[in-house]
Amino acid sequence: MALTHKATELLRELQRSESLPPYNEEVVRNILEEIKSLFEQSTETLSNHSEELEDNPALACSLHNNHACIERYKRYVLAYLHHRLRQVEQLRWKQGTVLPPTVRENLSAAELDYFNTYSNLLADYMNAEGIDVASVDIAQPPKELYIEVRVLEDLGEVMTSNGPLTLNKNTLHFLPREDVLQYVKEGKMEHIV
C-alpha cells in the first residue's frame, strides 16, 4: 500500500510544481520492480495451478487482483512519463535549444536525449520548410512587428530579413521581431520596452 501512496505522490508532485521537478528515479524504479514481481507471481501461479482456477475462486481473485495492480501501476508511470515529456517539449519552445543549468539538472539522461532529438527534428523541419516556427507565438500575436533590442554579447554578422547586420555588444537595434526573438530567448539580447 505504501508504494501506491508513493506513486500517487509522484503525480501530485508534478501537479503542484510550477516548473519541471527533478526526475524521481527511485519511485519509478520501485514501481517497475513491483510490476515485475506481480507479473512473476501471476505467471508462477498460472503455471502451477492452471487446472484449479475454475474450482478455486480465491486463486482466480488473486490473479485478477495482481492484474489490476499491474495495470494501475502502469498507468501511474505512463502518466508521469507522458506529462514530463510534454513539459520537455514545451521547454524547447520556451527556452530554445539551450537549457539553463537549473532545468538541465532536473532531467533524466533519457529526457535530455529526447530534448536534443526533439530539437534536432524541429530544426530539420524548419530548415526544410524555410520558416522559423519556434519564433512565432501562436497564442499571443505580436502587437508590433519591430522591437528595440540591446545586444548583450558580440554576435558578429547575422542574416536578418533585411540583409546582413553586425551585432556588437551593448549596441541598440530596431529589428523585426522574428529575426531577434530567438536571441532574446537565449539571453543574447534583451527586449527594451
Domains, in order of start, for the chain: 2-129 (1.20.58.1030), 134-192 (3.40.5.60)
SS3 content of the chain, % helix, strand, coil (to 5): 60, 15, 25
Question: In percent, how much of the chain has pLDDT > 90?
Answer: 44
Neighbours of 175 (CB within 10 A): 21
* pLDDT exceeds 70 at position 173: yes
Give the H or E element holding residue 147.
strand 146-151
* pLDDT exceeds 70 at position 89: yes
The crossing angle, in degrees rounded to 10, of helices 57-95 and 109-129 is: 50
* pLDDT exceeds 60 at position 1: no
* pLDDT exceeds 80 at position 129: no
Q: Which of 6-20, 53-67, 86-100, 137-151 has the lowest mean pLDDT?
A: 137-151
